[in-house]
Structure 1
Amino acid sequence: MNDGFFKVAAATPSIKVADCEYNKNQILEQMRECEKRGVTAVVFPELCLTGYTCGDLFRDRTLITAAQKALGEILEQTRSMNLLAVIGLPVPVGADLYNCAAVICRGKLLGLPAKSSIPNYSEFYEARHFTPAPAYAETRFCGKTVPLGNSLIFRCESMPELVVGVEICEDLWTACPPSAQLAQCGATLLLNPSASDEIIGKAPYRRNLVNGQSARLIAAYAYADAGEGESSTDLVYAGHNVIAENGTVLAESTLFTTGLTVADVDLQRMLQERLRTTTWSNAGEAYEVSFTMDMPVASLERKFPALPFVPDDTKDLSERCEMILNMQAAGLKTRLKHTGSKCAVIGVSGGLDSTLALLVIVRAFDLLKLDRKGILAVTMPGFGTTKRTKSNAQRLSEMLGVTLKEIPIGDSVSKHFEDIDHDPNVRDVTYENAQARERTQVLMDLANQCGGLVIGTGDLSELALGWATYNGDIMSMYGVNCSIPKTLVRHLVHHAAITGGKELCALLEDVLDTPVSPELLPPENGVIAQKTENIVGPYELHDFFLYYMLRFGFTPSKIFHMAQSAFAGIYDDATIKKWLTTFYKRFFMHQFKRSCLPDGPKVGSVTLSPRGDWRMPSDASSALWLREIESL
């Protein structure tokens, strides 16, 4: 399997009511198209071999016999297809007639999931023809004894991630859908053959229903709807197909069309999510049918966002940014109120992180109706400070109406070098960290003077990489940016720019244009010489690695392959592999820094608080992960 990805289709053929031969051929044609596209599982609509709108013809033995014969011919013609298909048809058992979905693979009939909830209201009158499904029964069909019922799951022996459950149309719309039990019995892929007629407002409701069920069950869900050819005597069918994965719609058909709706679902991700979610329980009973098929080799059609922390939609992004700023400010507001502090101390450098933190502090003070002059913004120029960043820090503080204080640290650090007998011409880690620690000491002591809190500025990406000085800038009394990745910091500052005044906007845009740097090494010709991304790698790559490693527990090889797709044309394979190695080395090496992080608000699904989402021994070995990367 392609790192757990599995290509699924929801198919709507054009049919003729009661013409099983014609419908069979349409289904076979779409199955062949699935094979060409590398689809490995396809679900067709409810009763598609006969048509859903046959009415009292369902009582006619000729129609029922023709449907069984048509399925037999489909089995015969698909023996060599590496495809699992779910096809709707009526199945008689003694005096009962069941609305079933035949699950077939490589010419074998695996089972007959049957519909549990038989609607008999409004435009539906299925109870006139069909009996609700038993939990489990056996019946002779197409020359083979097979299981029939609403508690069947189909487990692929050659792909452990693939466990299929089937429920039919109305089953999804009930208070307790069978899919819940099927998922708790292991089903990761749920398929729904449906014949849902179209009325105004029903499509968005249907989409939300499918999407919501995929979220509740932490599963992939494919819904195939009846369309062209169903009787229009009283109703219209639009072929509304939806494929969702854990609360995200991956693909959806245009109404009143036929054909395939295809998506690559990540079944491995479903298993990882269930493993992570301790309230998920494997419960209930199901009858398990085993089958086997070849590993799929089709190329992925699924696209991965290069910036997983950042919404693609501009409106969503704006709303998300405003929400995050409010969450950060609310967390700080509560801490200030609890401690009775009317003063906040922050080191401002003119860089992205301290700019965002200062904007958050101002917002928190405004919420508390505190005087902004109680915010002490301290600029501490050192050996690497440039005129541009110093000026931006000063101007921002002035525009926001906070108290600005400048304390150069050059002399203090030089004296410290004398004390520890360090040659200032040796610009090593001691040279750099001495400046970071001096700044932290200044801020802490100023906070003691004014009875305030030191507000940390470090972001999530820096914490993941350990790009922070222990007992230096990693320390504060409250860290407002601790769960904001660098790629999102940029968008938050940009949001503040476009929603602020013209003068503030221009200043913040200049901050955004400034290279990310700790400014601990002397500038060259007055410009920043030390650029973080030249040292540790591009933050957009590291944030991508961080998201999929931390949020889903994906393997380095899977993350690598996803990054190849997401950053195609931007970074070559060697570059991605190089920085992936750096990411894992630094992530493991610097866990000890994260073990003592100060408090700070969680605003997203990925964070590294040692008291919350991430608890890891500081001396864990990275060898397993690095060996896997080396083998790529």
Structure 2
Amino acid sequence: MSHLITVATCNLNQWALDFEGNRDRILESIKIAKERGARLRVGPELEITGYGCLDHFLESDVCLHSWEMYGQIIKKKETHGILLDIGMPVLHKNVRYNCRLLSLDGEILFIRPKIWLANDGNYREMRFFTPWMKPGVVEEFLLPPAIQKVTGQKFVKFGDAVINTLDTCIGAETCEELFTPQSPHISMSLDGVEIITNSSGSHHELRKLNKRLDLILNATSRCGGVYLYANQRGCDGDRLYYDGCALIAVNGKVVAQGSQFCLKDVEVVTATVDLEEVRNYRAAIMSRGLQASLTETRYERINIPVELAPRNSTFDPTVIPSKVRDIFYHTPEEEIALGPACWMWDYLRRCNGTGFFLPLSGGIDSCATAVIVYSMCRLVVKEAAEGNQQVIIDARKISRSPDDWLPTNVQEFAGKIFHTCFMGTENSSTETRSRSRELSERIGSYHVDLNMDSLVTSVVSLFEVATGKKPIFKIFGGSQIENLSLQNIQARLRMVLAYLFAQLLPWVRGIPNSGGLLVLGSANVDECLRGYLTKYDCSSADINPIGGISKTDLKRFIAFASKEYEMPILDEFLNATPTAELEPITKDYVQSDEVDMGMTYEELSVFGYLRKVEKCGPYSMFLKLLHQWTPRLTPAQVAEKVKRFFFFYAINRHKQTVLTPSYHAEQYSPDDNRFDLRPFLINPRFNWASKKIDQVVAQCEGKEVPHLDILSID
């Protein structure tokens, strides 16, 4: 006999500290869930505050306002008749916890604090919250007086418990707990919990989604049960983009999946599940039955006298369980096209901006940035065509368009909000200038083409008058320091011009009530890691969509976009030699990025991964690459490349402290803000590690191995 229950989970585009906006999106999700017949609704982690409040969580106002919003939600009759699982911070006995609040018909059933906190990579939850280190323990929680008036309750249960209805048992785990070796869902399932909710604030990284979904499917495959995964979506005020993909799984199979990248602020995912399938699945596995009978973990049940399944004594043929479906994954190229685009849209509409300004150099990095903006415009036009009123309102506001205007054409919308500029000098080639202009025409951006030689000459002349010395390029006989300074003058002046044009171009165009444009940077993650950029040059901007994406992935993205967006001009960017064009071009010399860096972009990606993800210092990195790169390279060549990488990484580490805030998309990002916490003053020679590397090289070459006294302290 079937036992059917309709359940709902959701993606919500919450914004840190936007209490009323977050409240309204929660209410909208509850409304949609009820309209679809759901009896249980679960939302993202910390959905009332927004996940990314960071040190604002330390302010008492945040807990106060959370309770005020929560009270407004559960007292509305429209939110009754459905079991609600809502997330917010709670102060219990003067300790701050990251909690789930479960309620029904305006009454709080219990509060479940998060047990295992995310505290690595981009996450610092233990800076703001304390984990509930008492598994299976439940205490009394005194509700705030204002909430007592709303619910008519004085105390509720607080701790590690589950909910027992008349027809099933429900437990909650939160985000990181899914990723731990002993996840709560294991002991919950062995104690008879049939429906498990997971509320997350999980961010996007390239190729990461499969790990998250594999864990969910593996959990329900081994343990059986219904698993509801909810996630935040959007840029809630920082470098991360939370990529949604709400999911409902039953016994290791997906029955409903939300979108990963989307401009909808509220997306509700529902499914009708058969609890008899869960019971049969579990009962058929003898080893599971033995473990369940022997488990020592017994959860306190919060009993509520209601059934989640609709009461109907007769068979209803219109209510059927949701069918199993295939999981949908985006390719990495699609992730690059969509993730940063959605992040930029959130950033633009929430900062009250007028649009973007991009220095378009004719190289692949600024090209990729421009194409991502184009992708954003495509998403806006698509959502507007589907009737997304919030997107239409935001598009009108950003573009300063009249109330009857609709974004129906991608190039037209790009022309309103996207501004590009080629800032040429005598070192620029006609090819890069031409590519920039053609790309702008294809995308539809408002384009400016200028030469800045007079500006560069004026600065050099000023220096000459002040010092009596005139720097010249190395190719004409100058020193390395002269050569570098002349390149940096051009790069830094481009940054000054970028902000000048970003502030004044809307005024030039006569756009009414316009503010300045957001300046976009376009330094990729490999250049940031190597420090192959000038401090405070045109890589210094307001935001950088590609700062967490490797050169290798950007090239694949451009190849994809060339076909997907029907832009053959992109092939010219793809085939061009990467060059900064800051040195004179002669018949014998054209500046090349990879020659300047002394390593390829592919090698940089490997160095970056080993340094950050594999936690390798110079010596351990050398040993790994010695096995991977020989015999293609000799041990001495591998050693030289590793030493060179760490030298330039170390001397340029200070640049990471002022990097433009970038979309986080790669595990080996060198972003100094929380993610990659390393000093910016390091001995670039790594002397002891270098000696150990030299010892191994000598051994490989059959030479006398220099002795290193590892026990010496003299």
> Normalising to structure 1: TM-score of the pair?
0.48
> Normalising to structure 2: TM-score of the pair?
0.43
| Greater radius of gyration (CA) | 1
